[in-house]
Chains A and B, each alone.
Chain A
Amino acid sequence: MKNYAKIPVAFDGGQVVEMAQQYQQTFSALNFAGIATADVVCLPGQYNQVGVFTVPAQEAVGWGVSQIINGGLTGDALYMAFYNALGVALEGTVRLIVEDANSNNPQTIGQFRTERLRADQNDRTKAILLQLDKRLAKQDSRLVIKFYPDSATSVTIMYNGTSTKIIAPVTIFQ
C-alpha cells in the first residue's frame, strides 16, 4: 500500500533524521524571548522584533495548525493584542516570520493588522484562522513576531500588561 502519510525529514548535522510525530501547541507571549520578559520599545517607520522563538534540538516548528472541522480543512485562531503602559491598544501591522539562526532568509508567513488580530480569541468566525504553513523552522531557526506601529513616535508594548496577550497556534514536528 502506498504510504500517504509521509513523515517530515530534518537534516541534523548532515544526517537525515526522520521525524516520528507531530502535535499541535498553542504558544503564548511566554514562548517568545523578548516580549516574554521585558517591555518592547517599537520605533516608528520600521518593523520591530517583538518576540522570537528559537527551535530547540530535534524539533521542527511551523506557524499555524491545520485541523478538520465539520469535514473541512481549517486553521486555529491566532490572537495578538499589544497594549502600552496606559492600557491603550497599539495599532499597526504584525508580521509572522520564519528565519534561520543568522536571521538570514526571513520568510513572511503572514502580515496582519492589529485590529484583526484582536478581533476575538475564541470565535472562529471573527478570529484569523492560521493554517499550518509549509515553511517549517528547523533546529536553531526561529519564529519571529515583528510589529510596525502606526504611531509617528516610539511606542512601548508592556510585556506584563493585563491585556497584552499572544495566542499563536503552532505545529511541532519531532
Chain B
Amino acid sequence: MPTIVNEKLAGSGYNLFDFVAIGVNKRVTEALLQPVVGNGTLKSGLIKGAAGLGMEYFRPRGAGIINKELEWMEAGLIIDAVEDITLTFLGPNPLGTLMGQPNASSTEGFVFI
C-alpha cells in the first residue's frame, strides 16, 4: 500500500481507503434500497437517515472487518440520506444553468416563446 492510503486525514479518523469503501458502500446500499424506499426523495432520505442513525447506536464496535464494513455502510447511508434530502429541497441542479441542463424547479435559463 502506498503511504497515502494509510495516511490519516487530519482530524477525521478515516484514511483514504475508508472513503473509497464508503463510496462503494453508498452505491450498493443506494441500489439495494431503491426498489424498496425509492431514491432522491424526502421519504427515501428520511428512511436512510433513520437507518444510518440506528446503526450508529446499535452496531457492534470493534476492530474486525465486519465491524468496519458496518461502519462504512452507516456512513454511506447517512451521506446518501443527506444527498436525497438536499435533492428534494435544492432540486437536481441547484447551480441552475451553470451545469448546462435547465432545471424543472428553477427558471434559470427558461425562455418563453
State whether the Cβ of A37 lies closer than 8 Å to any Cβ in chain B. no
Binds A, one of B17-25, B55-63, B64-72, B102-110: B102-110
Most buried by A among B30, B89, B111: B111
A107 and B113 form a contact (CB under 8 A)? yes
Min Cβ gap A8→B in Å is 5
A4 and B107 form a contact (CB under 8 A)? no
Most buried by B among A8, A68, A105: A68
State whether the Cβ of B16 lies closer than 8 Å to any Cβ in chain A. no
A66 and B102 form a contact (CB under 8 A)? yes
Q: Assuming A4-B90, A6-B106, is B101 touching A60 (CB within 8 A)? A: no
Among the listed A22, A65, A68, A135, which residue makes an inter-chain contact with B111, where contact means beta carbons less than 8 Å apart?
A: A135
Most buried by B among A4, A8, A66: A4
Q: Assuming A6-B108, A9-B107, is B101 touching A131 (CB within 8 A)? A: yes
Min Cβ gap A162→B in Å is 34
A8 to B97, CA, bound (A): 14
Interface of B is mostly: loop
A residues sitting closer than 8 Å to B (CB atoms) are 4-11, 22, 60, 62, 65-71, 73, 98-100, 105, 107, 131-138, 141, 171
| Contacting residues, chain B, for A8 (C-beta < 8 A) | 107, 110
B90 and A68 form a contact (CB under 8 A)? no
A5 and B34 form a contact (CB under 8 A)? no
Min Cβ gap A57→B in Å is 15
State whether the Cβ of B52 lies closer than 8 Å to any Cβ in chain A. no
Q: Which residue of A lies closest to B99 (CB)?
A: A73
Q: Which residue of A lies closest to B88 (CB)?
A: A68
Q: Assuming A60-B112, A105-B113, is B102 touching A68 (CB within 8 A)? A: no
Q: Which residue of B lies closest to A141 (CB)?
A: B113
Q: Which residue of A lies closest to B30 (CB)?
A: A71
Sample (9) of A-B pairs whose CB atoms are under 8 Å apart:
A4-B106, A62-B110, A66-B102, A66-B103, A66-B104, A70-B31, A70-B40, A131-B102, A134-B102
Min Cβ gap A94→B in Å is 19
Among the listed B83, B104, B107, which residue makes an inter-chain contact with A171, where contact means beta carbons less than 8 Å apart?
A: B104
| Contacting residues, chain A, for B108 (C-beta < 8 A) | 6
B106 and A136 form a contact (CB under 8 A)? no
A133 and B102 form a contact (CB under 8 A)? yes
6 A-B pairs with least C-beta separation: A134-B102, A68-B40, A66-B104, A73-B92, A138-B112, A5-B105
A22 to B30, CA, bound (A): 28
A134 and B106 form a contact (CB under 8 A)? no
